[in-house]
Amino acid sequence: MTTTTMNYSHQHGKPEKVYLHPVPVRLWHWLNALGFTLLILTGLQIRYVDLFSLMSFETAVKLHNWVGFGVIANWFLWFIYYLFSERVTNYHPDLDPVSFFQRYFRQAGYYSWGYFQGDQRPHKVQPNDKFNPMQKLTYQFVMFISAPVTFLTGLMMWDVRRFQGLIEMVGGLRVVNTVHVLMFILFVGFIITHIYMGFLGKKPSSHYKEMVTGYEEEH
């Protein structure tokens, strides 16, 4: 009944490090990082065939398709893991909008001002509540909305004939293509911000270490 993820060293009376990122989450995260990097590179090659010459157009398309399927499979790893894990609370919505938005903007204030003044983090990270409100909303949007929309539009363009009916229903291939590119821009923006925010730990390497070892670095 009880989830006790915070362990204590009885010998020294000091709290041990909190285990924040279990193996499936870390595996999914780094596979995603690799997958999205490849998708961005091959996507750029496909779209700007005259500007880049990383690989042939044909190779770029093939690689983009295969990696795309890999990333979709990886999304299901994330989804199934969280659906049946007690850590699912990390992705639970905040049902009190007033409290949520207050904490959201407090966090925004911390990132834009408080962090540089050495203020304490407004959100206390815990295994079952590891995301601050800004992270939570971003990850919910990215994982539940952006990623599936990107996958779906990608699939539609992968086999236009098979998905002809669906493509017509949503307004044609141009609409599908535009949405896919918009999602691509959003992902690139997300990844750049994500990498930057990753440096905002106690030390610039703290969050990166956490994502490798699974344990929270001291704050």
Partner 1 sequence: MNAKRHVLVIDDDAVVGRSFDRVLSDKGYEVDTARNGEEGLKDMESQDYDVIFTDIKMPGMDGLEVAERIKARCPWTPVVVITGYGTEENEARAHVLGVNGFVRKPLTPEMIESVTLKALEKPAVELEAANEPEAPEVAAKEQLIGMKKASRVARNAGLFLAAPFIALGYVIALPAVGFYMFAKLGYEAYQKKRGSK
* Structural Rg of the chain based on CA atoms: 20
Taking CB under 8 A as the binding criterion, the range among 3-11, 63-71, 169-177, 203-211 that sits at the site for partner 1 is 3-11
To which H or E segment does residue 200 belong? Answer: none
Taking CB under 8 A as the binding criterion, the range among 31-39, 90-98, 166-174, 188-196 that sits at the site for partner 1 is 90-98
Contacts of 98 by beta carbon, 8 Å cutoff, 6+ apart: none
Neighbours of 87 (CB within 10 A): 20
Based on the shown chain and the rule CB under 8 A, indicate whether residue 122 belongs to the binding site for partner 1: no
Based on the shown chain and the rule CB under 8 A, indicate whether residue 49 belongs to the binding site for partner 1: no
Based on the shown chain and the rule CB under 8 A, indicate whether residue 135 belongs to the binding site for partner 1: no
Based on the shown chain and the rule CB under 8 A, indicate whether residue 219 belongs to the binding site for partner 1: no
Hey, CA dihedral for 103, 105, 106, 107, is it positive or negative?
Answer: positive
Distance (Å, whole) CA 202 – CA 185? 30
213: closest CA among 6, 14, 19? 19
Could you give the string, one character per residue 8-27, with x where binding to partner 1 holds by CB under 8 A and - elsewhere?
Answer: x-------------------
Taking CB under 8 A as the binding criterion, the range among 49-57, 66-74, 135-143, 169-177 that sits at the site for partner 1 is 135-143
Nearer to partner 1, 54 or 145 (CB): 145
What is the nearest approach in angstroms of partner 1 to the Cβ of residue 66?
27
Write out the two tokens for 59: 């190779």
Do 32 and 41 touch, CB atoms closer than 8 A?
Answer: no
Distance (Å, whole) CA 139 – CA 130? 12
Q: Please measure the distance between the N-terminal and C-terminal CA atoms of the chain and give it in whole angstroms.
A: 29
Which residue among 65, 89, 177, 213 contacts partner 1 (CB under 8 A)?
Answer: 89
Based on the shown chain and the rule CB under 8 A, indicate whether residue 128 belongs to the binding site for partner 1: yes
What is the nearest approach in angstroms of partner 1 to the Cβ of residue 69?
22
Point out which residues bind partner 1 (CB under 8 A): 1-8, 82-84, 86, 88-89, 91-97, 99-101, 104-105, 124, 126, 128-129, 137, 140-141, 144-145
